[in-house]
Amino acid sequence: MYNDNGDDMNIVDIINKKRENQMLSYDELAYVIDGYMSDDIKDYQVSSLLMAICLNEMTSDEINNLTSIMLKSGDTFDLSFIKGTKVDKHSTGGVGDKTTLVVAPLASSCGLIIPKMSGRGLGHTGGTIDKLESIKGFNVNLSNDEFLTQLNEIGLAITTSSLNIVPADKKLYALRDVTGTVASLPLIASSIMSKKLAINADKIVLDVKMGNGALIKTKDEAIELAKIMINIGNNFGKETIALITNMNYPLGNSIGNGLEVREAIEILKGKGDNDFKQLCLALASYMVSIGKNIDIEQARKEVEINLDNGNAYNKFISMVNHQHGDINKIDISDKTLNYKVQMNGYINGIDTFALGKYVMSLGAGRETKEDIIDYGVGIVLQHKKGDYVKEGDILATVYVRDENISLEALNNIFIIEEEQKELEPIIYGVVK
């Protein structure tokens, strides 16, 4: 393969080119990805290129080309034989983020087809697949045929990624994870969107989280990431919109796999935490709006009707039944400890990242992909940000296997002060 000057390509020349902040061509990026997948180009060489990308970023053309190359590294789904509009939803991840468990059946109950491939959790953020595996018997490993058949029958399926869906991204992400190159907006965007495009839904709604519990810390960064992903989606002919949402405090009251499934069910039954409910309604409404080409107010009414009349909950139960789960058997530990408030005041802050790490330390999350998790442990917050609490009040119930677990680490997670501070919104805005 040759470069723009007609010379043989060389990985060192490509690294140097990016280090000097020059644009890489499609052929140069393909040379790197193909060579890395065939092991002709080594980890240390690709990590050097990734660092150069982190420092100098990428143009829109480079990002679109990288996404296309990664997409072509594996299989894609053909959903054309399934009648109806296919809409996918993706969250960039956070603490207590169980929105897919509510939003997917809610949008599907409004007549959309929801093909969802989700991942497992790593680090302080949980994964949808881990949550579903807390339901006894639930099959998260649908074959391609099973996935497509279920979509055709009930309009909803959630499964793990096929081993051959964007394999280049899997290999690149593993390298990024150990080389400090995860937090690059172009690399994040191409990673997410290559997987979304492989599913081949007609339209995509993104939940871009920002705050101390998210990968993206600032609103400006979140908006920039959203714009990059929307540009990718539109470039590939997929209408894409994004909501910028708050992860400066946990989503809902429960953090931990089985506990989050239980909370999602409460929302589907019309109960539960209002902030979490409002975010789910908003995400589902935008999915219905773009999926049916109707205005957001009309979509919101349709979504609320299907939540209130039980159709969304029934859709969730139908999915669980199709995937052989027993909804009456969710793994939740029966051993609990109560963490009590140590002073009077308002809860003005929650270190969401630290809270996610604490729940992970209980066994609910993974330090490495090989770790085995405990689906039944976690935390349920009895009070939220903005609440007034008194010394001795139960602030959180901790679900454990070992009742000798220390609660001391929670002392530094909750900020309690005499004066109440203004609450931040759960949704900062919509990017189209």
Cα angle 303, 308, 309; round to 5: 100
Catalytic residue among 171, 176, 238, 385: 176
Q: Across the strands, what pairs with 91?
A: 207
- Token code pair at residue 329: 């058997």
Instruction: Judge contact between 176 and 46, C-beta under 8 A.
Output: no
Cα separation, 417 vs 289, in Å, equals 42
Q: Which of 90, 196, 277, 385 is catalytic?
A: 90
176 annotated active-site: yes
CA pair distance 206, 191, nearest whole angstrom? 14
Asked if 73 and 166 count as a contact pair (C-beta separation under 8 A), the reply is: yes
Residue 306 contacts residue 110 (beta carbons within 8 Å): yes
d(CA 113, CA 156): 6
Instruction: Give me the catalytic one of 134, 191, 285, 289.
Output: 191
Asked if residues 146 and 388 have their Cβ atoms less than 8 Å apart, the reply is no
Distance (Å, rounded) from C-alpha 427 to C-alpha 421?
18
For the record, the structure tokens of 202 come out as 């007609």
8 A C-beta contact, residue 135 and residue 327: yes
Active site residue 124: no
Report the distance separating Cα 181 and Cα 429, nearest Å.
28
Place of tokens 């991840």: 93
Following DSSP, what letter does each residue of 217-279 receive, concatenated?
-SHHHHHHHHHHHHHHHHHTT-EEEEEEEE-SS-SSSEESHHHHHHHHHHHHTT-S-HHHHHH
**Phi, psi at 189, each rounded to 5°:** -65, -45
Closest CA to 108 of 139, 86, 136, 133: 86
Residue pair 245/207 in contact by the 8 Å Cβ criterion:
yes
Q: Directed axis angle between helix 185-199 and helix 43-56, to 10°?
A: 110
**Of the listed 195, 300, 315, 385, which one is catalytic?**
195
Structure tokens at 160: 């793990």
Known catalytic membership, residue 195: yes
Q: Is 201 helix (H, G, I), strand (E, B) or coil?
A: coil
- Catalytic residue (choose from 88, 97, 130, 169): 169
Catalytic residue numbers?
90, 169, 176, 191, 195
